[in-house]
Structure 1
Amino acid sequence: MVSYSSEHMIYHPEKLRLIDIISVLIFRRILSSSKFIESHHFNEDKLGNNVALPNLITILTLIIQKILGFLYLPFKLLGHVVEFILNLFSLNGGIFKLLLRIVTGKLVIPNKESAEYRSILGHIDGRLDLYNKTSFSFHAKCIPNQVRGSAADNTTNEIDPLDLSMMSAKVSYENAAYVKNAVTNHWKMHFVGFYDFWNEYQKTSSTQAFIYCDAPTNANLIVVAFRGTEPFNMKDWSTDVDLSWFSMGEMGRVHLGFMKALGLQNDRDYIKGWPKTYTGNKVLAYYTIRDQLNKLLEQHKGARIIVTGHSLGAALATLFPSILILHQEDTILKSIYGVYTFGQPRVGDKDFGVRMKENLNGTFKRYHRVVYRFDVVPRVPFDDRISQFAHFGGCLYFSSWYKGEVMKKEPNQNYFNPLYIIPKYFNAWVDLFRGIFAGVKLGKDFKESLMSILFRMVGLLIPGLASHSPRDTVNSVRLAKITTTANEDEEELVFV
């Protein structure tokens, strides 16, 4: 495969003008000659510039990004207000007790840094404990059967890697105190740290992750969880739909925005962008987590690693091992038990997928990409028929009422496919009614809050948006009947 270390295609939506839209769509101007695109060493025929659909999708994506840019500050403020009000009600026991507390002078003012403060996703799904019901039969030497650190006794329990991963991905949306409380007091595990990393794409410390072990000493399991797309952060959503990419040589082409969130230092040359030794002064996700994992593996001989995330966090969880491969970090790679992602956007091209599958099969076989129904995010950026991006590996696909199926690809590869308009809207209504009566049918653990029902109503306007909620993914993992046979060489998931 012929590749260049400096090959890239970078889109600048802030430079898009009305005249550009007209000239590309009507006069068929070549995209790469436009001022809003920066490209180097790239064969334009691969973009399909002579085909109307790729041009239309590219322009549509840039318009969406431009709109998201305008909405960033208003939605950021809206998010602060909504979350403050939700926490004000919940911390004071609801609207009636809130009024009583105001009268009696006992009003609790929400503190964003406290362990009781929850994000809007935490209000949509407030579950915090790991699931007790064993719907997942798991037997593998590399995951501990005993959860150490129990206050009462060391009761032997099976650890469900999918539930543990999804709960970790969900909790990652919360503040550091909340995360630490979840790990230490609810899961009875050892909290290592919560981190804020510099994100070059957003020009702020907006990449978050946390690390924990199943025990403070002689740990068998280490978990890395990346935070995903925050509902009111329009820059996160802009990152998800961005079509910009750059070449990593033999590794293939990868999503530029996600790589910047991990700590990429040069978006024109991957060799300069990913030096093995970092000498800068910014706290970058890849280098910090890599160094922390090396220290933990030195302390906990033989421990295995799970990397997980939801949405944007799922993209980072998938790309993190690719840099380990690039730097030949064999100690960490050989210790990785699996990568579990939920609602993951596409992160690279077909060549990247081939390269990753070679290494996933060589060093760790367990890459499970979980998708719930018509979730919009796994359908972006658009697939390789339109852009450079393609999913790799299989998919654990869940439909309504959480019926699971192992598939090569989820249905409806691109979100705007007109063939799926009716099924998407129908499913949104089904999900709404199911959410209303879930507690009656499935028990109190699955009873949905008013905030969750309201969010499902948003899905009636934008079908697939509500399907991206961590609640449905947690339900999918907990309600689907899944069995797995596992040993040191392979793992197979089977829905029954």
Structure 2
Amino acid sequence: MVSSTSSDYVIYHPEKLRLSDIFTTLVFGTSLVGSELIETSISSNVYGTKVGNVGVNLITVITWILQRIMIWISGPLALFGLLVEFTLNLFSLNGGLLRLLHNLVTGSLVIPKKESADYRSILAHIDERTDLYRTSSVLNHLMKAEPMDNVSERNPLDLCMMAAKIVYENKAYIENVITNHWKMYFVEHYNFWNEYLKSDDTQAFICCDRKENAQLIIVAFRGTEPFSGKDWATDLDLSWMSMGEMGRAHVGFMKALGLQDEKDYQKGWPKNYAGSRKLAYYTIRSTLKTLLQQNRNARIIVTGHSLGGALAILFPSILVLHQEEDIMTSLLGVYTFGQPRVGDKDFGDYMKAKLNVIFKRYYRVVYRYDVVPRVPFDDPISKFVHFGGCVYYRSWYKGEVTNLTTKFL
């Protein structure tokens, strides 16, 4: 077994994958450790020379191919997504096909504006709900598993589901829903720098149940966008870094959260950040400290769907690293939906030991056919697994609470 010291890491670069790499690896078992494709602190003789024991195996190669495809089609996919969403909004804002034709003839055609409060993503067109208090079997399962403190007149679990959904929308849409539909206080919507994607592509928002004397603070991270090939490539990535005694963590998700050095977690996660870019972890941490000073009795819930679920559970892990006791003691729970794997077994065990109180209220909601909770794929080198409780749906509206911490769930 390879030890995980503070300097251990394995970083894959699928954008540099060549057909010859696939052939020589799978046919001849050639080690690619040390090539442009793999950066690692661990020498190849530690891994061995056979395909099954090196940093490359069939699962790794399949993952690289899928990532390479996602990166290759990212541009056309994004343009296709823009066209689809523009078309959907064009029809919906003009009242359907017949009304659209009427508006076109009469010169009253409504042109969708992407940053307006009535512009919806494809997800909001599929699920148009904006209001709270909808009956849900998810709520019933979670409430039976671990009753939630009555910290607000609103159901915190209902808020989590809706927050994880609307965070995919633009700022104006989110603010309108929080303010006018939920009757809550909108704090801010953010576009953070994502070092993995080299763009301001990590999105989140913060809201409170009320402006003054708030009792509940919601932090919601946006997940994998359907038409973002690079987001899908991030989910699939097998790169990992050691976090010392915390275990191994997923590099792509950590970089989306604000990691600055993928080869040394101590340099990558300084307690105080002095850079110029707006990073998710540091900005949200600062905002939460301010809100807790203003609202002494407030409790915090962190949520997200898909990639956003990964960020939701990794956020408290860095709070643990930095010993941010004021925020950690105010954490009420973490609830994620369709969350991918974020670390190895040691990482999960460490988190459960350090955040035992909220781990009674850390649940992943997983639907049977959702592929995202199954990625990154099973790999003998990265060893990513899930941890914590799981609300697993085997079919529509038929769920069960489980404490399984398997690779699959």
Verify same fold: TM over 0.5. yes
Residue 81 of structure 1, CA deviation = 0.8
**Cα pair 2:152 2:216 within 8 Å, conserved:** no
Looking at structure 2, the residues matched to 357 and 412 of structure 1 have their Cα atoms a distance apart, in angstroms, of: 17
Looking at structure 1, the residues matched to 202 and 322 of structure 2 have their Cα atoms a distance apart, in angstroms, of: 22
Residue 324 of structure 1, CA deviation = 0.2
Which residue number in structure 2 is paired with residue 144 of structure 1? 151
Residue 286 of structure 1, CA deviation = 0.1
Which residue number in structure 2 is paired with residue 269 of structure 1? 264
Structure 2 gap segments, 5+ residues each: none
Residue 131 of structure 1, CA deviation = 2.6
Q: Write out per-residue CA displacement over residues 83-136 of structure 1, whole angstroms, 9 at most, x where no aligned residue.
A: 100000000000110001111111111011111000011111111111344864
**Cα pair 2:191 2:202 within 8 Å, conserved:** yes
Matches within 5 A, 1:248-267: 248-267=243-262
Structure 2 counterpart SS, 1:32: coil
Matches within 5 A, 1:77-476: 77-133=79-135, 136=139, 142-147=149-154, 159=155, 161-362=156-357, 365-383=360-378, 385=380, 387-409=382-404, 413=408
Structure 1 counterpart of 2:255, one-letter code:
K
**Kindly tell me: are residues 3 and 223 of structure 1, through their superposed partners in 2, closer, same or farther at Cα, counting changes over 3 Å?**
same
Which residue number in structure 2 is paired with residue 29 of structure 1? 30
Structure 1 counterpart of 2:323, one-letter code:
Q
Residue 17 of structure 1, CA deviation = 1.2
Which residue number in structure 2 is paired with residue 452 of structure 1? none
What TM-score results when the alignment is normalised by the length of structure 2? 0.93
Looking at structure 2, the residues matched to 117 and 57 of structure 1 have their Cα atoms a distance apart, in angstroms, of: 40
**Residue correspondences, number:** 402
Residue 370 of structure 1, CA deviation = 0.5
Structure 1 counterpart of 2:305, one-letter code:
H
Structure 2 counterpart SS, 1:63: helix
Q: Write out per-residue CA displacement over residues 3-56 of structure 1, whole angstroms, 9 at most, x where no aligned residue.
A: 422211000112111111111101111242443000003687679954289611
Residue 71 of structure 1, CA deviation = 0.3
Structure 2 counterpart SS, 1:302: coil
Looking at structure 1, the residues matched to 50 and 339 of structure 2 have their Cα atoms a distance apart, in angstroms, of: 27
**Cα pair 2:385 2:405 within 8 Å, conserved:** no
**Cα pair 1:347 1:389 within 8 Å, conserved:** yes
**Cα pair 2:385 2:406 within 8 Å, conserved:** no
What is the root-mean-square deviation of aligned Cα atoms in Å?
Answer: 2.3
Looking at structure 1, the residues matched to 195 and 354 of structure 2 have their Cα atoms a distance apart, in angstroms, of: 27
Looking at structure 2, the residues matched to 46 and 303 of structure 1 have their Cα atoms a distance apart, in angstroms, of: 49
**Kindly tell me: are residues 169 and 364 of structure 1, through their superposed partners in 2, closer, same or farther at Cα, counting changes over 3 Å?**
same
**Comparing 363-372 and 226-235, the one that deviates more:** 363-372
**Kindly tell me: are residues 55 and 190 of structure 1, through their superposed partners in 2, closer, same or farther at Cα, counting changes over 3 Å?**
same
Which residue number in structure 1 is paired with residue 65 of structure 2? 63
**Cα pair 1:31 1:49 within 8 Å, conserved:** no
**Cα pair 1:224 1:306 within 8 Å, conserved:** yes
What TM-score results when the alignment is normalised by the length of structure 1? 0.77
Structure 2 counterpart SS, 1:306: strand
Structure 1 counterpart of 2:5, one-letter code:
Y
Looking at structure 2, the residues matched to 36 and 85 of structure 1 have their Cα atoms a distance apart, in angstroms, of: 40
Q: Share of identical aligned residues, percent?
A: 61
**Cα pair 1:265 1:272 within 8 Å, conserved:** yes
Structure 2 counterpart of 1:18, one-letter code:
L
Residue 359 of structure 1, CA deviation = 1.9
**Comparing 210-219 and 392-401, the one that deviates more:** 392-401
Which residue number in structure 2 is paired with residue 486 of structure 1? none
